[in-house]
Amino acid sequence: MMKRIFPFFLIFFLVATTAFGQFRKSRDKTAPPVTDSNLNYANPVEYYIGGIEVTGLNVLDKNAMISLTGLKIGDKIKVPGDQISGAIRKLWKHGLVGDVEIAVEKIEGQNVFLTLKLSERPRLTEYYFTGISKGRQSSLKEELTLIKGKIVNDAMIRNTEITVRKTFTKKGFLNTVVKVYQELDTLNRGGTKLRIDVDLKNKVRINEIHFEGNEAIADSKLKKPLKKTHEHARIRLHRVLLGIALDFKPRKLIEVLDSSYDVSWGEVKEFINKNVKLNFFSGSKFISSEFDEDKIKLIDYYNTKGYRDAEIISDTIVAFDEKNIDVNFKISEGNKYYFRNITWTGNFLHTNATLNKILDINKGDVYNNEMILKKTSFNPKGADISGLYMDDGYLFFHVDPVEIAVVGDSIDVEMRIFEGDQATIDEVIISGNERTSDHVIRRELSTMPGQKFRRSDIIRTQQQLSSMGYFNPQKIEQDIRPNPADGTVDIEWKVEEQSNDQIELSGGWGGYYGFVGTVGISFNNFSLKNIPHRDKWSPLPVGDGQKLSLRAQANGKSFQSYSMSFTEPWLGGRKPNSFTVSLNRSISRYPGPNFEFNSASPSLKQNGITIGLGRRLEWPDNYFSLTNSVSFLQYNYNNYFGSSSLPAIGTTYDLNINSTLARNSIDNPMYPTTGSTISLSMILTPPYSQWRDPSYYDDINQAYKWVEMHKWMFDAKFYLKLLGSSKPNGRSLVLESKAHFGFIGSYTPSLEPGPFGRFLMGGDGLAGGFNSFVLGQEIIGLRGYPNNQITPPYFQKQGSGGSQSGNSLIEGGIVYSKLGLELRYPVTTGQTATIYGLIFTEAGNNWNDYKKFNPFNLYKSAGFGARIFMPAFGLIGLNWAYGFDTLPGTNEKSGSQFHFTIGQQLR
Which string of DSSP letters, residue by residue, matches 469-488? Answer: SSB-GGG-EEEEEEETTTTE
List b or e across 793-816, with b for residues whose CB sees 16 or more CB atoms inside 10 angstroms.
ebebbbebeeeeeeebebbbbbbb
Q: Could you give phi then psi for residue 803, rounded to 5 degrees?
A: -70, 135
Question: Measured between alpha carbons, how far is 153 from 99 in angstroms, rounded to an integer?
Answer: 12
Asked whether the beta carbons of 901 and 787 are under 8 A apart, the reply is no
Asked whether the beta carbons of 72 and 48 are under 8 A apart, the reply is no
- Residue 392 is classified by DSSP as T
Question: Measured between alpha carbons, how far is 493 from 478 in angstroms, rounded to an integer?
Answer: 5
Q: Which amino acid is at 32?
A: P
Report pLDDT for 272. Answer: 46
Question: Measured between alpha carbons, how far is 869 from 724 in angstroms, rounded to an integer?
Answer: 21
Element (H, E) at 4: helix 2-30
CB atoms within 10 A of CB 769: 25
- 3-class DSSP assignment, residue 599: coil
Question: Measured between alpha carbons, how far is 425 from 458 in angstroms, rounded to an integer?
Answer: 12
CB atoms within 10 A of CB 309: 12
Question: Measured between alpha carbons, how far is 35 from 112 in angstroms, rounded to an integer?
Answer: 10
The count of C-alpha atoms lying within 13 angstroms of the C-alpha of 331, restricted to the half-sphere facing its C-beta, is 28
CA distances from 396 to 386, 415, 417, 421 (A): 10, 16, 11, 7
Report pLDDT for 559. Answer: 82
pTM exceeds 0.75: no
Q: Which amino acid is at 43?
A: N
Q: At what angle do helices 250-260 and 265-275 cross, to 10 degrees?
A: 90
Q: Which amino acid is at 754?
A: G
Question: Measured between alpha carbons, how far is 666 from 858 in angstroms, rounded to an integer?
Answer: 29
pLDDT digits (tens, 9 = 90+) for 323-374: 788 899 999 999 999 999 999 999 999 999 999 999 999 999 999 989 999 9
Question: Measured between alpha carbons, how far is 642 from 702 in angstroms, rounded to an integer?
Answer: 18
**Strand segments (E) across 236-355:** 311-319, 324-332, 338-345
Burial class for 883, CB neighbours closer than 10 Å (0-12, 13-18, 19+) = buried
Positions in the chain short of pLDDT 70 = 1-42, 232-283, 506-516, 593-595, 642-645, 725-730, 767-774, 794-809, 831, 871-873
Report pLDDT for 283. Answer: 55
Report pLDDT for 137. Answer: 86
Strand partners, 722: none
CB atoms within 10 A of CB 391: 16
